[in-house]
Structure 1
Amino acid sequence: MIPTSTYRVQVRPGFDLDATAELVPYLDRLGVGAVYTSPLLGAAPGSTHGYDVVDPTTANPELGGEPARLRLVAAARAAGVGVVLDLVPNHMSVEVPSANRWWWDVLEHGPESRYATWFDIDFAAGPILLPVLGDDSTLRLRDGRLAYHEHEFPIAPGTEGGTAAEVHERQHYRLVDWRRGNAELTYRRFFDVTTLAAVRVELPEVFEGTHGEVLRWVAAGEVDGLRIDHPDGLADPGGYLRTLRARADCWLVVEKILAAGESLPASWPVHGTTGYDTLREVCGVFVDAAGEEPLTELAAKFGGIDFHAEEERCRRLITSRSLVAEMRRIAALAPGVPADAVAELMVAFPVYRSYLPEGTGHWTAAVERARAVRPDLASAIDVLDRTVRSDPGGELATRIQQTSGMVVAKGDEDTAFYRYPRLTGLNEVGGAPDRFGVSLAEFHAGAAAREAGWPAGMTTLSTHDTKRSEDVRARLAVLAEIPGEFADAVHRWSARCGLPEPTLELLAWQSLVGAWPITPERLSAYLDKAAKEAKVRTSWVEHDDEFEAAVRAWPAAVHAELGSEVAEFVERIRLPGWSNALGQKLVQLAGPGVPDVYQGTELFDLSLVDPDNRRPVDFAARTRLLDRLESGWLPPVDDTGAAKLHVVRTVLRLRRSRPELFSGYRPLHADGPAAAHVLAFTRRSDLVAVATRLPVALARDGWRDTVLALPGAGRWTDALTGREVHDPLAPLGDLLSTYPVALMHREDVR
């Protein structure tokens, strides 16, 4: 039931279910345990990702529909590969109303619609507000529908006749200026996306309607696992998961972002998270703590400030601009409590959300923090606290908890992370930018805890949601080893090609060297998004056209003016970046949990945030390299990425053929002058993973006489090179002479 590993495929119209089925033989050869797809249910027309579901009762026809889905299942079964599906329970797309028959029915019939309770709509507030109008608000009647440009809406029976404006006034909805959505929306949405309306899966009929088809696939043995998207948006995540578990006897993981030190609620009947907690630890352990002070000084010169102050400021920005409607709706449930008090409570959460009555500590911490920061609102916050504690399953408690995750995610990940450029490789989903890396002791403690508590949870380094790929982060980690060199370079470059917003500029220099060689077009698109997410000089809602033009032009100017200098600097960090990348990958794949490989990242991949990380993958090139590896080729560590493919293939195939080896966890510690450069652990007693840390400093003096004590006598063989080690005190200079990583397997015991 539990896969040995997964491989994430972004199924889309340009790479549909049949293309995914054709990929299965390659994945099988790679050693993958299960193909793990993006959502496959009927999605909005032209959807490139599938999270905008419009019809959960059928396989997406734009991906090939049910026949193609069954062909994928057949291909996977023939190869002995599992199928894991991404499932979206929180929301549906309403961007094209006619594509979503449930939403269309609600717009047509209002509160009398059979689906009126399926969506989380505040009918007491009046007609459903649809924020779609621009400066030109001319409405028309077209083919029995109300039309605004390409948008069409239903007309309720008996409301026909007269002008378009007159017909509009009789409907159960009101088309309003798009800018009014954040403050006046009357339905719950996914974060601040008005085109994604929340559904109430806590109601049995809604659960059945939205999950019946996928559960049919599970019952038929066609789906081996489910990845649950955004459980924090649900009214009762634990209740939902218990209902789902009763119907789905399969591997179950949740996309739950855990703060450092936070654990999943013990009552959730799942195998674990999708792995962002592991990502933070695996990537962080390759960051040199000695770089913190100089990189902090550099960031200060570019406007960088205390992260927690920025985090708080950004959360307030979200509550006062993007999620005003949510603050007001919650406040209306507690008469006399101002929306400011609700917002202050949201800002104060130490984690994404609480799950009352379970885990009251986080709720208490938020209340105490909010009262301390805003004593003038203390009495109102106390009212919220008393009401929620007295009825943790009530509407007030539910809506506060549903919304706190929205505030934290939008404030932290989508705003503060773009404003805090100290070391952007730490600014990752589930990351903690204020914590400069992860010590060896913290890493080992986290890995041991995963093995003890969540051994079947997913682990990951790159996803469709990460801000930058694992290999970009691996290269950026090198900057912590050479902060002075990087600072000098940035100051030189900035004097010649600066940007008019300093924190964005420092982020831009790191993005440039992290993803180099990157085309000006790709970098321009990324920085345009980063500037709007940061919301300092421009945003998605309030544009500064002159500033945006300068940002878009910057990459081309830098390429022309500084291209050779940037390339020279990148050459300085390329090899240690590869070392970090291979180390991260080995540690993730060989460590506790079920490792996921995001599409294409079996080679070195220098992608930035979506849509950059959803670009087409050249599987033909990967197949050619795999052919050579299968013939016994030991590839060099170079820009082909074949060495990474070799690591991925070796570990995944061993996990699949010998899963019993990948149990247990015990740290191993090297002895000698370079001991701090080793990250090693054993799984069971016959498998040892070894990775190099801090390669720049290591290169100065080398391994010298540093050794690693292997756990017991026997013939140890490095699965990556075939090198045998008979001495249980393995000299690391020999063991890691070919690759900066090793996977030692004991063949026999003498």
Structure 2
Amino acid sequence: MTTPEDGSGQPQRRATYRVQLRAEFDFAATAAQADYLAELGISHVYCSPYTQAAAGSTHGYDVVDATRISDDLGGENGHRAMTDTLRAHGLSQLLDIVPNHMSIADPRNRWWWDVLADGQGSPYASFFDIDWEVDEPRLRHRILLPVLDDQIGRVLEDGLIRLVSEQGALLVAYHDNRYPLSVETTAELLAAAREPRVVEVVAMVAQLPMGADELSRRERFTARHAVGESVARVLDATVAGPAVEALLSEINLDVGALDRILNEQHHRLARWKTAVEEVNYRRFFDINNLVALRMEDPEVFAESTALIAQLVHSGDVDGLRVDHIDGLRRPIQYAQRLRDTTTPSTWLLAEKILEHDEQPPPWALDGTSGYDFLAAVNGIFVDRAGHEALVAIHEEITGQPSGFRSFALDGKREILRTTLVSDVERLTGLLATICDAYPAQRDHTHSEIREAIVELVAAVPVYRTYIDPRTPPPSEVDAARIRRAARAAHGNAPEVDERLLDFIADLFVLGEAKDIVTAEEDMHLAQNDLVLRLQQLCAATTAKGVEDTACYRHLVLVSLNEVGDSPAHFGLELTDFHARNERTQEARPLALLATSTHDTKRSEDVRCRLDLLSEVPEEWGAAVHRWMAMNSALRRQGLVDSAMEYLLYQTLVGAWPLSPDRAVTYMDKAAHEAKRQTSWLQPDEAYDAALRAFVTAVLADPRFVADLEGFVNTLVDWGRVNSLGTTLLKLSSPGIPDIYQGCELWDLSLVDPDNRRPVDYQLRRSLLAAGRGRSAAAAWEADRDSGAAKLLLVRDALALRVRRPEAFDARGAYTPMRAEGDFSDDVIAFIRGVPAAVIAIAQRRSLTRRGQWGDTMIPLPNGDWRNLCDGATVSRGARLADLLADFPVALLERAG
């Protein structure tokens, strides 16, 4: 697309702007903002997935056809027009892709539909991670579909399942959902209608190929579709059509006949709750409508990636962000295939959650999507001195201990024993088979094996390891993690057999098998399968057990309860922040730097305000106690627990002003994710109603609202100071800054759906236009509420990246600076470029400092420096009191 100033032939990767595409904000709407984004300084529009998603999708991660551009967003013509418009404004694309799973909620997923129709005979049966050989006889060689609201017998009695003739086919109907009948059943039903025209169909079905090899499946697929065309002609016939309709009406009144037909299909309809224990396809986490793909299969990879590769090779897309790469069976193999399928220079990123000090695996990618930066930059604004006091407040109010690791362990265990139990059972059966081949491990009960798996997986300290039996040996780091996890598991649950844990760990790290009584290839395949599936389970367990459970229970300071961050690490030293940036500059200069995303639980501005509570824990504790006393009469029958009330107050402080509707929606989701009093799996309607009523009543009390606003007003401007610091550090640190839609202004959003509300681009356009020729400092002085100061800081920092690309890209350098004076620890500063070309200076502990810097100063390199935030020129030693007098941060460019 556009050629950068350095003449490399590749688009200059300067900054991304994430847009959430949906029917209400489609390709045309995105194209309409191209001129605004270009003026802001963006280089890449970072698009949510836009291959065909399920009907009504609001995010694009529920793909039903990876070979087509989404019709709902404008189709190929709309995409072409958007791409051309972006190109005309010098903008490239970074595209989010979804290799891990597909949606099965829409019949337009023709791969899945074909598997439902023909089971293992379908050429697409191998595309999905389905266990066809389950122990349960009624599910063997069939797919469980947990879609019914009640047990199937009751649903049949109520007449909610019917056979219908629609769109030239015979289908199973349940409410608005449709499921295919096998061609054999279709032929049987047409024959029962006793119409001469069906003879051809019956004959064609009798001649269908029945082989299990790939060629036979492909031939059968072609023949089945010919049958389908004949069926459509029969059903459209004026004579046969009514006869078939009459037969279907008769069957729909006969529960026994209908049940017999359903039992003959390659799928089995069941109550939704059966998924917990019996679902026999791997899901995206615990979402029944999202089935996992076998992306390790070259054919699946090729068919799923063909369109994406075409977009890259055509120049329409410059980069790809891989969603949930940790869910794949072989992530490192996938990354290499993606690199080989695209180009050596394609910008490849992965959504990868790194734990504290964890480094990415050695894969053929350019970096992560930036959650590690989010955690680091947030950490430097959290005051460790406030930790003890906030812990005391949390324990007093909630009655819970405050060690996050115990919350995380409990959350993982709970998820493994509830929503992910079907995955655990699959591994339990697999490991039991393996144990039988080792005399020393034989005779373990399924219960013992199950608990060993639960405890070991729960003890793994990272999202997953990257051990692949095809490429032994495992890294020393991964092997050590698994060995430590086995020891930790025994310490956490001494009742679990330590030798069994060690045995699993030995298999996990590809240790030499000892005392095995069979060397059959099947046993080695089973062991390899165990290793790969355990790692996939680890990723799902951490996501659901920590992010979506523990982070809604542990409430010491909820600004830390974030994707990629962890309450286990309360604050970050400046030296650690600098070390992280130095590693990025050296190893991953194209990694994204994120502060808000579509998945974050709170926007950057909410976190920046909440971080201030670590500076004033005493004032915060006093306010919470006032509010709890004030609202004590509103707690209905004592149902609303103190933990949820404490979360409500932090939420209101962080996101105020917050409407009652938004507050209720957030708290309802938070309570269900916490899974203490209510959950998605087992909702407590009385508790849910009480919580909603409590939130509504609290926000209807003018006395409380006035007190809340009084407290929030003491934080607002200092939270904005933190936000400007966060923004500057993101825009000037090693890596590529990412701006989530709308966050170029103040944005006080909570978890989805709150962070996916429409963005007011007209407001942003008008503020950007009004800011031409104006500094961020002038905007800060004139109107702090509008957010124009943040917008203009983004504009000026990105313009600097255009002028001095060599200071920020892989050719540049990162040099930490150290302030001098009484408050030197509260200044974050560094130099970019060789020789020094840019200096970024931000402050922390803003509420504590309140602009009082005493003799603190920054020793600048020789020469004159222009502050892009206010236009002033400085040289040599710069006093913080002067440098930050008019604006909370400074961005210095060498003059001349």
**TM-score, length-scaled by structure 1:** 0.97
For the pair 1:548 / 2:688, whether they are aligned, the reply is yes
For the pair 1:170 / 2:267, whether they are aligned, the reply is no
For the pair 1:13 / 2:23, whether they are aligned, the reply is yes
The 1-side partners of 2:48 and 2:874 are apart by: 43
Equivalent in 159, 177, 195 of residue 185 of structure 2: 159
For the pair 1:75 / 2:169, whether they are aligned, the reply is no
The alpha carbon displacement at 1:551 in A equals: 1.5
Indicate if the aligned counterparts of 1:532 and 1:540 stay in contact, CA closer than 8 A: yes
Equivalent in 375, 381, 387 of residue 292 of structure 1: 387
The alpha carbon displacement at 1:403 in A equals: 0.8
The alpha carbon displacement at 1:718 in A equals: 0.6
Residues 106-505 of structure 1: pairs in structure 2 closer than 5 A: 106-125=115-134, 126=140, 127-135=142-150, 137-138=155-156, 139-143=161-165, 144-160=170-186, 161=189, 162=251, 163-249=257-343, 250-266=346-362, 268-303=363-398, 304-305=400-401, 306-335=403-432, 336=444, 338-356=449-467, 357-358=474-475, 359-375=478-494, 376-388=496-508, 389-390=510-511, 394-498=528-632, 500-505=640-645
The one-letter amino acid of 1:82's match is S
**Which of structure 1's runs of 4+ aligned residues deviate more than 4 A?**
390-393
Indicate if the aligned counterparts of 1:719 and 1:745 stay in contact, CA closer than 8 A: yes
- 1:502-528 Cα deviation digits (max 9, x unpaired): 222111110001000010000100000
Match of 1:629 in 2: 771
The one-letter amino acid of 1:361's match is A
- 1:289-327 Cα deviation digits (max 9, x unpaired): 111011000000122322111111111100100100000
Match of 1:640 in 2: 786
% identity of equivalent residues:
43
Task: Name whichever of 168-177 and 493-502 sits farther off.
Answer: 493-502
The one-letter amino acid of 1:346's match is V
- SS in structure 1 of the partner of residue 791 of structure 2: helix
Indicate if the aligned counterparts of 1:32 and 1:656 stay in contact, CA closer than 8 A: no
The one-letter amino acid of 2:320's match is L
The 2-side partners of 1:536 and 1:181 are apart by: 21
The 1-side partners of 2:869 and 2:715 are apart by: 24
The 1-side partners of 2:35 and 2:64 are apart by: 32
* Structure 1 unaligned residues grouped into runs of 5+: none
Equivalent in 744, 753, 756 of residue 611 of structure 1: 753
The 1-side partners of 2:388 and 2:490 are apart by: 33
The alpha carbon displacement at 1:672 in A equals: 1.4
Match of 2:225 in 1: none
The alpha carbon displacement at 1:374 in A equals: 3.1
- 1:189-239 Cα deviation digits (max 9, x unpaired): 000011000001111110011110110111111110000000110010000
The alpha carbon displacement at 1:373 in A equals: 2.7
The alpha carbon displacement at 1:100 in A equals: 0.7
- SS in structure 2 of the partner of residue 479 of structure 1: helix
- SS in structure 2 of the partner of residue 123 of structure 1: coil
C-alpha RMSD over aligned residues: 1.4
The alpha carbon displacement at 1:501 in A equals: 1.3
For the pair 1:53 / 2:63, whether they are aligned, the reply is yes
Indicate if the aligned counterparts of 1:252 and 1:270 stay in contact, CA closer than 8 A: yes
Indicate if the aligned counterparts of 1:513 and 1:566 stay in contact, CA closer than 8 A: yes
The alpha carbon displacement at 1:442 in A equals: 1.3
The alpha carbon displacement at 1:113 in A equals: 0.5
The 2-side partners of 1:554 and 1:447 are apart by: 45
The alpha carbon displacement at 1:468 in A equals: 0.3
The 2-side partners of 1:137 and 1:226 are apart by: 44
Residues 652-667 of structure 1: pairs in structure 2 closer than 5 A: 652-662=798-808, 663-667=812-816
Match of 1:100 in 2: 109
Task: Name whichever of 235-244 and 660-669 sits farther off.
Answer: 660-669
The one-letter amino acid of 2:739's match is V
The alpha carbon displacement at 1:381 in A equals: 2.1
The 2-side partners of 1:554 and 1:17 are apart by: 41
The one-letter amino acid of 1:371's match is H
The 1-side partners of 2:126 and 2:828 are apart by: 54
- SS in structure 1 of the partner of residue 67 of structure 2: strand
For the pair 1:730 / 2:825, whether they are aligned, the reply is no
The 1-side partners of 2:96 and 2:713 are apart by: 39
The alpha carbon displacement at 1:378 in A equals: 2.1
The alpha carbon displacement at 1:559 in A equals: 1.9
The alpha carbon displacement at 1:656 in A equals: 2.6
The 2-side partners of 1:661 and 1:240 are apart by: 33
- SS in structure 2 of the partner of residue 124 of structure 1: coil
Between Structure 1 and Structure 2, how many residues are aligned? 743
The 2-side partners of 1:366 and 1:63 are apart by: 46
Match of 2:823 in 1: 674
Match of 1:84 in 2: 94
The one-letter amino acid of 1:262's match is E
* Structure 2 unaligned residues grouped into runs of 5+: 1-9, 135-139, 190-250, 252-256, 433-443, 468-473, 512-523
The 1-side partners of 2:594 and 2:271 are apart by: 41
Equivalent in 702, 715, 719 of residue 852 of structure 2: 702
The one-letter amino acid of 1:435's match is H
The 1-side partners of 2:650 and 2:788 are apart by: 25
Indicate if the aligned counterparts of 1:32 and 1:653 stay in contact, CA closer than 8 A: no
Match of 2:840 in 1: 689
Indicate if the aligned counterparts of 1:137 and 1:148 stay in contact, CA closer than 8 A: no
For the pair 1:522 / 2:522, whether they are aligned, the reply is no
- 1:686-730 Cα deviation digits (max 9, x unpaired): 10001111011112x7112211111x221200111111113x101
The alpha carbon displacement at 1:134 in A equals: 1.1
Match of 2:232 in 1: none
The 1-side partners of 2:296 and 2:390 are apart by: 47
- SS in structure 2 of the partner of residue 360 of structure 1: helix
Task: Name whichever of 84-93 and 358-367 sits farther off.
Answer: 358-367
The one-letter amino acid of 2:753's match is P
The alpha carbon displacement at 1:674 in A equals: 2.2
